[in-house]
Structure 1
């Protein structure tokens, strides 16, 4: 059983609210009261001096971080090792899963530009955290890795990590893949090459053509900026429309105009 024992009202309110929201069984006592016989985890305020029975694990809660304390308490109660592991399925809107031991304690799906901030927040004060990121969507993954900083990162073979999605599960694939990625050992890395391949540039150009009202693709210069994360496809199309053909624009058949064609124009 989890027992909350603190006179700090902010800690008490935050922790109890989190426990109730998650449907976790718990009880509360005043510091100095007799502890219930089934107590396994005690949640107390960070500054409290509270004596607990032998064999009871203590989780200290900050008033502005009740969720982290509750996650630690639940993980301890279930016998997890408590290590924070974050799995990321990279893409334009990466799936992100946060595990304490074997238990999923949080999940997100956000624009790629926000992924680094979420990771930094979730590993703050964590002991021995690790980030495991899938090896797909290489350019997006490289940007996320560069943005994380100071957290060990493992590159994971994400083959087969996206599960079959049955009825009603649409949109959950990236998050579920992130959970599976978090549970796989990977190769520790510090960065990934971000230079786009010719095939990646071609795919970006194709995406821009599909998004264009005039069926015209952006040129290589803008495609490289999209690949580097400096622009979205939509922003590149807007810039392309305002600059004419100085970025090497392509014609409707995908070919660059020749000098003769340009002169005839």
Structure 2
């Protein structure tokens, strides 16, 4: 299994990045020296660090570092295409699909916070192309979201039919993940017959967790 290395003299950065790597359940190792093991594909350091080592990423904060590292785990130095799916509503769902791998999916607490969250995503991942897909439902909130995020990346509106199936397990983040994959409308045959809220993402999508096992 490939691992992420952490080597920094910035205590706050180290504390934050280790906490977030554990939260993301990503394989990592804290390095005690500048010698990088062969199974470490990328090393995370703070922008404040004044040393350079092979396969190193220097970042402003832990989440930027983690997002910058993900392409090294699964795709080389960069993804070809990152798609951000948005399920419109007062608490928008947000999902990030990178080269058809679901990287993250979560619910934004409010529309007024969505621009900052998307900016962090856009400035974190390393990619050649990026696109935002927003579902065509909830027109009032959809228009508020588009107004809020206008100019940060190309945006298209897609037909979100079938993205809330089944209603008993529906959540905004799940719908956003489905929206990110839409070309015409979401293929509901992708939805597994048997699943739970706990395993729906693993059943329905190629996830980061499944790729780096």
Q: TM-score, normalised by structure 1?
A: 0.57
The aligned counterpart of 2:40 is 39
**Distance 1:125-1:3 versus aligned 2 partners, 3 A rule:** closer
- Structure 2 unmatched runs, 5+: 185-213
Distance 1:71 1:120, change over 3 A: closer
**Superposed, which structure 2 residues align to 1:88-237 within 5 Å?**
88-101=86-99, 102-124=101-123, 128-151=129-152, 152-165=154-167, 169=169, 172-185=170-183
| Shift in Å, 1:122 | 3.5
Structure 1 gap ranges (5+): 187-265
1:41 deviates by: 1.5
- 2:10 corresponds to 1:8: yes
Q: Is the 8 A contact 1:29 1:35 kept in 2?
A: yes
Q: Which has the higher contact order (CA 8 A, sep 6+)?
A: 2
Computed over aligned residues only, the root mean square deviation of the Cα atoms, in angstroms, reads 2.7
Q: Residue 11 of structure 1: CA displacement?
A: 1.8
User: Which residue of the other structure, out of 22, 25, 28, is the alignment partner of 1:20?
Assistant: 22
CA drift at 1:148: 0.8
Q: Secondary structure at the match of 2:39?
A: coil
Aligned equivalent of 1:207 = none
* Structure with greater strand share of residues: 2
Give CA deviations for 1:117-145 in whole Å, capped at 9, x if unaligned. 43344334655543210112223212211
- Larger CA Rg, structure 1 vs 2: 1
Decide whether the 8 Å contact of 1:88 with 1:131 is kept in 2. yes
Are residue 86 (structure 1) and residue 68 (structure 2) matched? no
| SS of equivalent to 1:164 | coil
Q: Distance in 2 between matches of 1:108 and 1:93?
A: 6
Q: Given the alignment, which residue of 30, 33, 48 partners 2:32?
A: 30
CA contact (8 A) 1:163 1:176 kept: no
Hey, what's the Cα distance between the residues in 1 that align with 2:9 and 2:137? 49
Instruction: Tell me the secondary structure at the aligned position of residue 17 of structure 1.
Output: helix
1:72 maps onto 2:74 in alignment: no
**Per the alignment, do residues 68 and 140 of structure 1 end up closer, same or farther by CA in structure 2, a change over 3 Å counting?**
same
The two structures have a TM-score, normalised by structure 2, of: 0.69
Give 3-state SS (helix, strand or coil) of 2:79's partner. coil
Does the 8 A contact of 1:76 with 1:82 survive in 2?
no
Q: What's the CA shift string for 1:192-222, capped at 9, x where partnerless?
A: xxxxxxxxxxxxxxxxxxxxxxxxxxxxxxx
Provide the secondary structure at the position in 1 that maps to 2:40.
Answer: coil
